[in-house]
Amino acid sequence: MSAPNKSYDPVEVEALKPEVVEQARDEALAAFAAAADLDELKQAKVAHTGDRSPLSLANREIGALPPQAKAAAGKLIGQARGAVNQALAARQVELEAERDARVLVEEAVDVTLPYGRVPRGARHPLTTLAERIEDTFVAMGYQVASGPEVEAEWLNFDALNLHADHPARSMQDTFFVEAPDGTADSGMVLRTQTSPVQIRAMLAGEPPLYAVSPGRVYRTDELDATHTPVFRQVEAIAVDEGITFGHLKGTIEVLVEKLIGGGLELRWRPSYFPFTEPSAEIDLQCFVCRGASVGNPDRPCRTCSSEGWIELGGCGVVNPRVLVAAGIDPSRYSGFAFGLGLERILMNRHNVADMRDMVEGDVRFTLPFGMEI
Ligand code: DAH
């Protein structure tokens, strides 16, 4: 732009003539008022306030005016631009409000309309129970471990001190998995117990080890009121320096208190498992009759069959041979382990009389257990 020109008079400059400026302003105001939506307003904004708009171009002329003329021209343009910007902002607010109101109407959802009532199903109480047990152990610092249901025979039996000719091996009627070529010996079985997870956990890391593992197990039983070929166990193992049977007892006491409630006696019956020494069966005092039904025909108890005790599962101090099989030094470490049957706990805790109810997957069985999470 040229230097100030003393003889340059704003009234002589077409773009700075008051009537021209007013006209530019009025055209801008009219364009904003006519904009029907935000897109049109945007176009009007570019046309009337952008770099190439009449008022911007007029503004540029001010620089070339003689100093005494600048103030008046600046005021003239400034006022016009002020009015234009104000009108633009006001219209913007108006059109945004219109758009919001329209969106609210267009996207409204009628929450009173009836919906397709698909029944919601329910979580299986065995799953909920397994999670409760996991939670109890996680609170005591255990990790949750898992293993496959099609398991290596070595892990399911041999590593647990159940050799091929061990009589205890036949205690658990096993589903053997055929090799792909049809020969019987694939070296794989459907796991008969969750105990192989102990071995997996020990092989996976160094002691100290505290692991809990609920899962499905398989045995060749017919399905009837008290048997099922697929059932669930929860296994736990602790291996550390100085672990004793006392730690095992304390741990089971905590579990029972969390699952069933306090004040119940536990009975530790000597037993035999190849993978623990010493071994025991754990019995829980019947929480329904608390022993009052024993020898008392007037007060029979369905929960414990008037025995006074409910069998929970097996346990013991981990056999050093098992530690060796898992690469752990038995002169430094010892451990305890136990395995409990989940169906049995559920049957007792909720008076489920028939095993089949737990495996058939009928939602009428699972629904009354509610949505305990
Ligand atoms: N696996 C055993 C069974 O299925 C239960 C069991 C007993 C697990 C003693 C253990 C244990 O970890 O120490 O009969």
Q: Looking at residue 126, what is its pLDDT?
A: 93
Contact 8, 69 (CB under 8 A): yes
Q: Looking at residue 327, what is its pLDDT?
A: 95
Q: Please report the DSSP string for 63-88 in residue order.
A: GGS-HHHHHHHHHHHHHHHHHHHHHH
Assess whether 99 and 131 both reside in one domain: no
Assess whether 144 and 290 both reside in one domain: yes
Distance from Cα 252 to the centre of ligand 1, integer Å: 14
Q: Which of 44, 78, 106 delimits the end of a domain?
A: 106
Q: Looking at residue 331, what is its pLDDT?
A: 97
Question: Is residue 4 classed exposed, middle or buried when 0-12, 13-18 and 19+ CB atoms within 10 A define those classes?
Answer: middle
118 inside domain: no
Assess whether 87 and 226 both reside in one domain: no
Question: Between the CA atoms of 157, 144, 326 and 186, what dihedral angle is there, to the nearest 10 degrees?
Answer: 40
- Mean of the per-residue pLDDT values for the chain? 90
Residues of the chain with pLDDT under 50: none
Query: What does residue 317 show for φ and ψ, rounded to 5 degrees?
Result: -90, 130
Assess whether 188 and 80 both reside in one domain: no
Assess whether 179 and 46 both reside in one domain: no
CB 314 less than 6 A from any atom of ligand 1: yes
Distance from Cα 274 to the centre of ligand 1, integer Å: 9
Distance from Cα 357 to the centre of ligand 1, integer Å: 25
Q: Looking at residue 250, what is its pLDDT?
A: 96
201 inside domain: yes
Query: Distance between CA atoms of 211 and 200, rounded to whole angstroms?
Result: 10
CB 337 less than 6 A from any atom of ligand 1: yes
CB 157 less than 6 A from any atom of ligand 1: no
CB 190 less than 6 A from any atom of ligand 1: no
Assess whether 181 and 287 both reside in one domain: yes
β-pair partners for 282:
268, 313
Helices 125-139/245-259 angle, 10° precision: 130
Query: Distance between CA atoms of 76 and 165, rounded to whole angstroms?
Result: 109
Kindly state the tokens that stand for 305.
């069959």
* Residues 6+ away with beta carbon under 8 Å from 35: 41, 43, 44, 91, 95
User: In angstroms, what CA-CA distances link 148 with 13, 22, 189, 213, 225?
Assistant: 91, 85, 10, 11, 27
Q: Find, among 182, 154, 179, the residue nearest to 169 by Cα.
A: 154
Number of separate domains in the chain: 2
CB 338 less than 6 A from any atom of ligand 1: yes
Residue 299 is part of which domain span? 125-369
Distance from Cα 176 to the centre of ligand 1, integer Å: 20
Distance from Cα 278 to the centre of ligand 1, integer Å: 12
CB 276 less than 6 A from any atom of ligand 1: yes
Q: Find, among 124, 127, 128, 130, the residue nearest to 362 by Cα.
A: 124
52 inside domain: yes
Assess whether 67 and 136 both reside in one domain: no
> What CATH number is associated with residue 341?
3.30.930.10
Assess whether 253 and 205 both reside in one domain: yes
Q: Ligand 1 atom 3: the closest Cα is on which residue? A: 193
Residue 327 identity (one-letter amino acid)? G
CB 196 less than 6 A from any atom of ligand 1: no
2 inside domain: no
The residue written with tokens 């108006």 in the block is: 94
Q: Looking at residue 183, what is its pLDDT?
A: 75
Distance from Cα 338 to the centre of ligand 1, integer Å: 6
Assess whether 195 and 293 both reside in one domain: yes
CB 334 less than 6 A from any atom of ligand 1: no
Assess whether 284 and 155 both reside in one domain: yes
Assess whether 89 and 159 both reside in one domain: no
4 inside domain: no
Among 137, 243, 275, 342, the mutation site with the greatest number of ligand 1 atoms within 8 A of its Cβ is 275
Q: Find, among 50, 39, 44, the residue nearest to 96 by Cα.
A: 39
Contact 175, 187 (CB under 8 A): no
Binding site annotation covers 360?
no
Q: Looking at residue 4, what is its pLDDT?
A: 53
Quickly count: other Cβ atoms within 10 Å of residue 117's Cβ: 6
Peptide bond into 278 cis (omega under 30): yes
Q: Find, among 264, 320, 305, 266, the residue nearest to 287 by Cα.
A: 264
Pairing mode, strands 276-285 and 266-273: antiparallel
Pairing mode, strands 266-273 and 334-341: unpaired
pLDDT tens-digit map of 172-194: 688 888 888 877 678 999 999 99
* Residues 6+ away with beta carbon under 8 Å from 171: none
